[in-house]
Amino acid sequence: MNSRQDQLKALDRLLTIMDELREQCPWDRKQTLESLRHLTIEETYELGDAILDNDLEGIRGELGDLLLHIFFYSKIGSEKKAFDIADVAHGISEKLISRHPHIYGDVTVADEEEVKQNWEKLKLKEGKKSVLEGVPKSLPAMVKANRIQDKVAGVGFDWEEPHQVFEKLQEELSEFQHEVNKGDKSAMEAEFGDVLFSMINYARFLKIDPESALERTNKKFSKRFQFLEKEAAAQKRSLSEMSLEEMDQIWEQAKKDA
């Protein structure tokens, strides 16, 4: 691995390149905080894909893309006389120090859970009116539900045991089925939301990231369905010409080969 001196030299090189691109490249010069936003979100999802695939080389590359965006935002901030990369780095450093009194102070913690609880309490002391203020409104619903549950658990609003959450899930499933039987679409949607929220909560208790779990299933399903498509093409048939039983046979083969 690189030495600290080499690491700082690499960051300094990227800062210089960012300055040059901002001055000389028409595309880079045109970018704003707003125009970069959707690109940053896209890069974050690409990093997530690389992590799920355990693609270390891909992770390295995607981290570089995100680092470029951080430097880009900081460069624009400096042009606006609002902040620069040093302000960004100092800001997060100060936050980490203040929120880790068990490392940089005299606070004693027993375990990871106590660290998380202290983190949320410290945020409230810093002026936050609600522990939910740190949950971005634009997060996808599943990710947002997970973060909401994690946040409120940090201040003690949580179930005590996993079986309690599972019982709640079964209760929500029963209520959902009741509304399905009645055929009330609005009530069905509301109860289905409760089922999903309870499923996400149960996953959290089992230390499972629901977003990652679902995306792994998406990838698995896509791989198997593409196998099905290739086998149908090899037989010179379209899927619409095949019976469900025939497709199921190939699907089972795909599961074995996966």
Q: Which of 85, 55, 53 is nearest to 70 (CA)?
A: 85
Say how many C-beta atoms besides its own lie within 10 A of residue 28's C-beta.
Answer: 14
Specify whether the CB–CB gap between 188 and 176 falls below 8 A. Answer: yes
Report how far apart, in Å, the C-alpha atoms of 78 and of each of 21, 64, 72 are: 15, 21, 10
Is there a contact between 152 and 158 (Cβ–Cβ < 8 Å)? yes
- Ranges in the chain, pLDDT < 50: none
Q: What is the per-residue pLDDT for 113?
A: 82
C-alpha count within 13 angstroms, C-beta hemisphere, residue 198? 20
Supply 3's token pair.
């030495």
Is residue 131 within 8 A of residue 154, CB to CB? The reply is yes
pTM of the model: 0.69
- The neighbour count for residue 143, using CB atoms within 10 Å, is 15
Sign for the CA dihedral angle at 58, 59, 60, 66 comes to positive
Q: What is the pLDDT of residues 107-149, one digit of tens each?
A: 888 888 888 888 777 877 777 788 898 898 888 999 999 999 9
Quote the CA–CA distance of 14 and 197 in Å, as a whole number. Answer: 43
Could you tell me the two tokens for 175?
């209520």
